[in-house]
Amino acid sequence: MRFIHTADWHLGRIFHELHLTGDQSYLLDKFIDLVKDAKPDAVVIAGDIYDRAVPPPEAVRLLDDVLSRLCLECGVTVVLISGNHDSPDRLGFASRMLANQNLHIFGSLLPDAKPLTLKDRHGPISLYALPYVEPLVVREKLGMDEVKDHDSAMRAMIALMRQKSSAEGRSVLLTHAFVPGCMESESERPLTVGGAGTVSKSCFEGFSYTALGHLHCPQSAGDDKIQYSGSLMKYSFAESDHDKSVNLVEIDKTGFCSVEQVHLSPRRDVRRIKGCIGEILKGQGSDDYVEVTLLDREPILDAIGKLRSVYPNTLNIRRPCFTPGRGPETNFDHRKMNDTELFSSFFRQVTGDELTCAQRQAFTSVVDALREQEREATA
């Protein structure tokens, strides 16, 4: 059996006050082309379909279009679950009727849920679809006071789903969780404070493949059978070095899985650029989303305007030389310091460097000239 594992679409995402729906639509067109070319038996989406619980209308329309094309045009079975960004009830609307169209949506946790049965020429494969597990919800729905954290909640739900099924052999788990030891990104919303939000990889023992969502970097979770597909596209400048992809998974008759990461090229990349503004302005330019780190030590008039003449989608500028490196100095009496000493202290606090002789002389010359003007005006 062949299926595509993807996750964390975050439809409706806003990136530095810029709506990304158009970029997401472009990339999902590429995704549908991949589905038509690879002809998988199923597409599984491991949560965080939307970026927030109440998505904007254009995000809802985009999801409606993509799912309709996958199910009706491509004729592929689609299985998706809610993540911690989604509203389970909103995402799961009309899920029972849509299941007849090979669209299986698992929004809310269902204590009586059974695995889906998919078939290939070697027989059945059980697909366990488990939405984002909130410990409090599991504790209330199952009446299990011993469920205290995400790990115990995940184990309780998996055990319950296995009890509801008599199926044996090959199986796939689709879920949304944070496995410790994996690479995080700043665009991910923490599941909880401390370590209570993590789920041990040992929860997933016995599955031929575990399709995970939540972490945005494509990676295995300590085992080649446990995989994060990563997010649809880069959602922060910290992800600029990620190579975004989806997983094309094949399961043989023994349950062994081979995983191929397929890269999808976005309309615009997300990049970081560093250097002096003169050097950067000589570049070829592009319409990528860029964050620029300027190394110039002198003030720059209209830096954003100059940069956008070459990189029109410059979204953020960093000036590390003007970022205070430490708190204010307190081991001196400013009343006993002259102008040059005061300015030297200020310069050191702001830049982390000492004034050079040339800079000290320039400051002294300016102050002396101002003092001379004051004396002449007074006279």
The enclosing domain of 221 has a CATH number of 3.60.21.10
Say whether both 148 and 123 belong to one domain.
Answer: yes
Domain co-membership, 343 together with 300: no
Cβ burial of 51 (10 Å; 0-12, 13-18, 19+) is: buried
Which of 263, 283, 307 delimits the end of a domain? 263
In a domain, 328, yes or no: no
Whether 245 is in a domain gets the answer yes
Residues 129 and 212 in one domain: yes
Name the residue among 18, 83, 72 with its Cα closest to residue 47. Answer: 83
Same domain, yes or no, for 343 and 247? no
Rounded Cα–Cα distance for residues 176 and 210 (Å): 10
Whether 34 and 136 map to the same domain: the answer is yes
**Is 326 or 245 the better-scoring residue by pLDDT?**
245
Residue 327 covered by a domain: no
55-87 burial, b at 16+ Cβ within 10 Å, e below that, comes to: bbeebeebbeebbebbbeeeebbbbbbbbbbbb
Average pLDDT over residues 223-251: 95
Q: Quick one: which of 252, 235, 253, 233 has its CA closest to 244?
A: 233
Q: Which of 236, 263, 290 is the last residue of a domain?
A: 263
Same domain, 56 and 150: yes
Domain-terminating residue out of 225, 242, 263: 263
What's the pLDDT band for 378 if we cut at 50, 70, 90? low
pLDDT band for 195, please (50, 70, 90 cuts).
low
185 and 203 together in one domain: yes
Q: Are 230 and 314 part of one and the same domain?
A: no
CA distance 357 to 317: 30
What per-residue confidence (pLDDT) applies to 73? 94
Q: 203 and 107: one domain? A: yes
Domain span at residue 283 reads 270-322
| Same domain assignment for residues 227 and 299 | no
Residue 277 inside a domain? The answer is: yes
Considering the domain boundaries, does residue 253 fall inside one? yes
pLDDT of residue 265: 92
Q: 292 and 209, same structural domain?
A: no
Q: Are residues 131 and 13 in the same domain?
A: yes
What digits encode the pLDDT tens for the residues 324-371? 555 555 555 666 678 888 888 888 877 778 889 888 888 888 888 887
For residue 77, tell me if it sits in a domain. Answer: yes
Q: What is the domain count for the chain? A: 3
Sheet strands (E) in 17-153? 18-19, 42-46, 77-81, 103-106, 116-120, 123-130
How much of the chain exceeds pLDDT 90, in percent? 64
